[in-house]
Every structure is written in C-alpha cells, then in structure tokens.
Amino acid sequence: MDDTLRRTGVPDKDAVQAVYPTKDRLERGAVAILECFQNIPCNPCATCCPRRAIKAFLDINDPPVIDWEKCNGCAICVANCPGLAIFVVDENYSPTEALIKLPYEFVPLPTVGSLVQAINRAGEVVGTARVVRVQNPPNFDRTAVVHIAVARELAREVRFFALGGVGA
Amino acid sequence: MKTVDICVIGGGPAGLNAALAAAQGGASVLLLDDADYLGGQLVKQTHMFFGSEKQQAGTRGIDIASTLVQAVQSIPAIDVWLETTALGLYDDSVLTVEQQGRYRKVKAKRFIVATGASEKMLAFKGNDLPGVYGAGAVQTLMNVFGVRPGQRVLMVGAGNIGLIVSYQLLQAGVKVEAIVEGSPQIGGYLVHASKIRRAGVPILTSHTILEAYGENAVEGAVICELNRAWQIIPNTARRLAVDVICLAVGLSPLSDLLWQADCRMLYTSELGGHVAWRDENLRTSQPHIYIAGDVAGIEEASSAMVEGAVAGYAAAKDIGLAPMDVEQRLLVALEQLKELRSGPVGEKIRLGIAEVQSVRGDIDGRHT
C-alpha cells in the first residue's frame, strides 16, 4: 500500500488514480469513487447499494469493487460508509463546474446557495465551492450528504469544505 | 447470597452480548457493572461501526448500546446490578461485590469476565499538570456530559482511539493542533486518518511529546521528531500552544479479577499485555470462568460483541442448558469471529491468540 497514506493519512496521486473511474465514465455523469485503500473488515457499502453496483464481498476484508456502469451516483453509499471514504463526482454538472457529493458530520450544516471554502485531502483550501443541496434524511443517520459545485479542474482534488470566510 | 446460572461481570459491548447469549441459551443471568449505566465504552462512540450487518456495521456505537441495553432490559431472565464493583472471584464459584456501600455475594455456575481495559499512561515531564487527559476521559466529558475539555488539543497517538477522539473533538468545535505518533506509520484505520486530515489536522508520525509546560495547568507542549530507532532527532523540538494534551497511547486488559481467581495468565504483547489462557470457546484455565472483549485481548468493539456471544452460548451449553439451537448459534458466532479477524488488520490478534493457545491451560508450566 501507498506509504504516503500510512505516514500522513493523505493518499498519493497513484493511489487515487487506481480507484478512479475511466475518463469516458466520468464524462457520462455522476459516479461513486471509493477512496478505501486498506483491507479492513467492513462491507456496508456493498449491502446498502440499491443497484448492486458495489459488488458483494467474497471476503469482508477485501477492498470494495464497483461496477461503474451500474452506478448512477445516487450517494446512498456516501452516507453509509463508516469510513466516510466515498464521494460522488459529476464532472458534467455544468460547462464549467463539477458537482461533488461528500459526507459531512458537523454542525451547523451549510445553507443551500452559500459559498464555502473548497478543501483538498490534505486539509488545504484550494478554491471556493457553492452549496447546491444538503441531504440529511433520517435514513442517512446523521451523516449528511452535501452537494457542492466546484470548478471542473478541482473535481479530483476537493473532498471537504469549511464554512465561513468566503464571499461573506 | 444471590444465586444464578451465569454471572457476567462488565456491561460493555462484550458483557451485554454475553448476557443476551447466555439468556438465549436458557440461563438465568446476572449482569453487573460498576458504572450507573450499561453500555461501557459504546455509549461514547458516535461514529458508525465497521464490520458487517451481523455486528450492526454502519450503526453508531451509541445506538448499538441503546439496542443492546433495551434487549437486555426486555428479557426477564437477565437481572442487572449497576454501581456494583466485583471484588473477588473464588474457587467455590462465589463472587463478592461492593454495591453502593453494601457487601454482597453472588453464586453462579459460570462467570463471564468482560471487564474491558484500562488506558496506558506515558512518562514525560509535566504529565501531572491539569489539562493532561486520557482519551477515555475526553470522550466521557464530551459525549456523556457534554463538556469540552479545552480549546486547543494536542493528541498523542494515532491509533484508532486517537484518530476517533480527534474527530469527535473537531465535531465539538475544539481545535486539534496536531496528532503526534511515535511510530513511522499511522496505527489506526486509514479512513479515520484521512477524514481528520481533510478537516485540517496534521498527523505527525515519527514524533513524540517531550514535555507539558504551564504554571498551574497545561499551557503548551514540547514535541520533537524521532528517527526510525525511536531516538530523538536533535534540534527538532518545538513548542505547541495547547491547553489540553490527550493521551491515546494504548490499552491494557483489565485483568485483576482473573489474576486473583488464579487463572493461568500469559504475557502476550499482540493482545495488549497479560491475558488469561483460554480455549477456543473463551473458557479460562479455571473451568467456571470465561472471558470476552478487551480483557481477553485488545481489539475492536465488533469483535468484543461477538466474543461476548461466544462466551455466553458456550457457558450456557457448558452447564447443560442446551436449547436445540445453542450449538448452532455458537458455531455461527465463532465463524463470524474468524471472518472479522481474517484480514491483515486481524493478523496481530491471530498471532496473539495462537501464542496463547500454543500452551496448555490446564497444566502448570510455561513455554518450554
């Protein structure tokens, strides 16, 4: 496994590349990206997927395997992953923007339409994001899924956001 | 004297499941805990659990606690004594306890010791200053009593507890300045590490704390870098202004009762220290005593829950209470345990258990 990840908690580019959908699939809209790099005994992503896109585990310690053709980016797995390691990316959200659906367990939840700081895997602010939607239904069990729009070129980097300090 | 079939000592994830399994196995059960609530450490776990649906994966620890406690309370065969501390466990199958100032005795055919673990301490200058906490205390303050421990925290240890408590601190609006970890690698699940990294907390592997400073309470910490041989690298010491230093440097099995009961004890570093010899059904060298959970070896709560079930079913079967399905339930639980431990993160536990079981529990001899 990627030594950078073990040392710092941040996966390197190669590790991310290895779990990334093909360019062709990305161009066809929303799809889940499973940033789960360690063999730990865990399988809720597979059991919660309504389309069975995340395959049933033969061994619960295996990393998840997804069929990107079956995945429609619904983000149910985003709220169900105990490791908060799944993100949905729609690179075709608009001509200039990509949409990222990410898990969020902090209060307060952001307001739809507000601008927030777009943050990468290392916790660095890399731009501005716009909150498009906040999903927090009871069956997501307090892991909200927040949809943010970011500049397309940031789609691969942004995995978190912080409130405040932007456009206020 | 209270008389029951099976007495379970400790009401955490292992003990609750042990009580439920023993009752399902047809036994009358007494479950006791020194706290004034059941659930043990589960009640402080606000994150979704790993594992499979069989161990309620995807559910938060605190909600698993509620489900288990409700189940225990709904079964008439299970009696619960809270604020009850086990004192001594004797050869004639009698347990003595202190209960709110009263001294009482319990006679049971089998005991399941599920006492959990205690936190390790770390030696450094100033570690007795107010503001130096164990991670368990920080969790208790925040998640049981709703009190923030301070404003700026240095976390020591990047195992699962250090990572999870750091995340909980962030959720409570407390700034975590850094996590220092002596080892060159993060010990906890990397998904936990990644989620606190994106939230802006640096994880400094190959770093340790040298001292805590402050007049009457912690005002800061001195941290430094370590080389691969865990030696301090000169001129790397630096100050970090914090008012809380939180120690998450490991757990030790809380095994005093097992020592006192003269169970055969073995030092097994992979299991976190001294643990009792046990057979595959978690029966110790004292035939009336079973173990389950962290006291049997430091591991995840999901395994502790399954171990509780194994011990509960096995103890019920052992005293001749054999509803038709108890054998089957025991086998299913054993299979689940095997599955949870089968991957790379279960390797240490597998090695530790193999080491314990490589000696016999019924003879008085050490490794030869």
* Nearest chain A residue to B171, by CA: A106
Residue identified by tokens 């659930």 is: B39
Q: Which amino acid is at A25?
A: R
Do A84 and B60 make contact, defined as CB atoms within 8 angstroms?
no
For position B325, what pLDDT does the model report? 87
- Return the CATH number of B121-247, one of 3.50.50.60, 3.90.79.10, 3.90.1150.10, 3.20.20.70: 3.50.50.60
Do A6 and B57 make contact, defined as CB atoms within 8 angstroms?
no
Q: Are B61 and A82 in contact (CB under 8 A)?
A: no
Nearest CA to CA, how far is A121 from chain B (Å)? 5
- Omega cis (within 30) before A108: yes
Mean pLDDT of A5-13: 96
Give the three-class secondary structure for B209.
strand
User: Using a CB-CB distance cutoff of 8 angstroms, which residues of chain B are in contact with residue A160?
Assistant: 198-199
CA atoms within 13 A on the CB side of B29: 34
Structure tokens at B133: 């906490």
For position A165, what pLDDT does the model report? 53
Q: pLDDT tens for residues B27-56? A: 999 999 999 999 999 999 999 999 888 888
CATH of domain B2-118+251-357: 3.50.50.60
Task: Give the residue ranges of chain B where pLDDT is below 70.
Answer: 322, 362-368
Query: Are the folds of B2-118+251-357 and B121-247 the same?
Result: yes
Sequence spans of domains, chain A: 3-162
Q: How far apart, in whole angstroms, are the C-alpha atoms of residue B276 and residue B114?
A: 12
Q: At what angle do helices B61-74 and B13-24 cross, to 10 degrees?
A: 30
Q: pLDDT tens for residues A59-112? A: 999 999 999 999 999 999 999 999 999 999 999 999 999 999 999 999 999 999
The strand ranges marked E within B39-138 are: 78-81, 84-89, 94-99, 102-113, 117-119, 132-134
Share of chain A above pLDDT 90, in %: 95
Strand partners, A26: none
Closest-CA residue to B289 (of B258, B317, B250):
B258
Q: Are B276 and B263 in contact (CB under 8 A)?
A: yes
Rg over alpha carbons for chain B, rounded to the nearest Å, is 21
State the pTM of this model: 0.94
For position A166, what pLDDT does the model report? 47
For position B208, what pLDDT does the model report? 98
User: Using a CB-CB distance cutoff of 8 angstroms, which residues of chain B are in contact with residue A84?
Assistant: 191, 195
In this prediction, residue A1 has a pLDDT band, given cuts at 50, 70 and 90, of low
Structure tokens at B93: 């199958």
What Å distances lie between residue B287 and A3, B24, B116, B339, B362, CA to CA?
A: 46, 21, 20, 27, 9
Nearest CA to CA, how far is B343 from chain A (Å)? 5
Q: pLDDT tens for residues A22-58? A: 999 999 999 999 999 999 999 999 999 999 999 999 9
Sequence spans of domains, chain B: 2-118+251-357, 121-247
Q: How far apart, in whole angstroms, are the C-alpha atoms of residue A45 and residue B130?
A: 43
For position B360, what pLDDT does the model report? 81
Mean pLDDT of A130-139: 97
For position B321, what pLDDT does the model report? 80
Closest-CA residue to B194 (of A108, A7, A167, A146):
A7
For position A87, what pLDDT does the model report? 98
For position B53, what pLDDT does the model report? 86
Phi, psi of B71 (to 5 degrees): -60, -45
